[in-house]
Amino acid sequence: MARDNPELVYPGDPFRPLVIDAGRISLSMGTASDLPDFVGRTRRGALSGWYAAGFVIGGQWHESARPYVPEDSPLFHALEGRYHDRIAWEDTDWLADVARRLADGETVWNGCRTRADLRRRLRKMEWLIESVRETGFHASRDPVVISIGPNGEYIKSGNGRHRIMLARISGRPLPVRVAVRHTHWLARDTMR
C-alpha cells in the first residue's frame, strides 16, 4: 500500500484543516484523472479528503487542472444576490434557467430530477447561506478538499464549489483539507 512508503506521505498531520482565503483557489482538478488510482477518488472523480489526505506525489498530475473562476457562473450571481440582498431564488435568472431545463426533462443542479428535488436542494442551500452569514464556516464539518501544486497553487480537488462561492461572496475564511501535495512544493515549503 502507498501509505507504507514514507516518501509518499506528508510529514505532519495531513488531516488538520487549514483555513485560507477562498480567492486563492484558482484551479480545479475536474476528475483528478492524472493521479494514481491509489490516491482515492470518490464519485465523479473527486478526491476523498480523508483517504487522499497526506499524499505527496510528483509528476505532471497538476497539468490537467483548469482555471477555476466561479464568478463566471450564473449560480454565483444568484448566491451573491441571495446572500447580500436576500433576493428570492424565484427572482434569479439562474433558477429560471434551472426550472426550464428541469421541465425539459434534464437532470439539473446536483442531481435534481423533480421540482421536489429542487426545493429540497434550495432548502439545503438556504441553510448553508444562513449558517455562513451567522457564524461562518466550521472546520470540523465544512472543509473543502484541495491539492497543492508544485508552485504552491491551490487546486480544488473535490466537492465544495458552493462553499467556495459563498466564501468568496461573504469574505469569510474557508477551511480546507489538503489531499495531495506536489513533491516540488513540499521541497520548497520545507526549505523555508
pTM of the complete model beyond 0.75: yes
Looking at per-residue pLDDT, the higher value among 90 and 187 belongs to 90
Looking at per-residue pLDDT, the higher value among 42 and 60 belongs to 60
Largest CA distance in the chain: 56
What is the CB-side half-sphere exposure of residue 68 using CA atoms within 13 A?
A: 24
Instruction: Say how far apart CA 53 and CA 34 lie, in whole Å.
Output: 17
> In the chain, which ranges are E strands?
18-20, 25-28, 55-57, 66-67, 144-148, 154-156, 174-182
Q: What is the pLDDT of residues 87-143, one digit of tens each?
A: 999 999 999 999 999 999 999 998 999 999 999 999 999 999 999 999 999 887 778
CB 49 within 8 A of CB 136: no
- Percent of the chain surpassing pLDDT 70: 78
Instruction: Say how far apart CA 119 and CA 127 lie, in whole Å.
Output: 12
Instruction: Collapse the DSSP code of 174 into the 3-class scheme (helix H, G, I; strand E, B; otherwise coil) and give the result.
Output: strand
Q: What is the pLDDT of residues 142-161, one digit of tens each?
A: 788 888 999 999 999 878 89
Judge residue 143's burial from the number of C-beta atoms within 10 Å of its C-beta, 0-12 exposed, 13-18 middle, 19 or more buried: buried
pLDDT of residue 2: 41
pLDDT of residue 192: 39
Phi-psi region of 186 (alpha: psi -120 to 50; beta: other; left: phi over 0): alpha
Q: C-alpha 120: how far from its chain's center?
A: 21
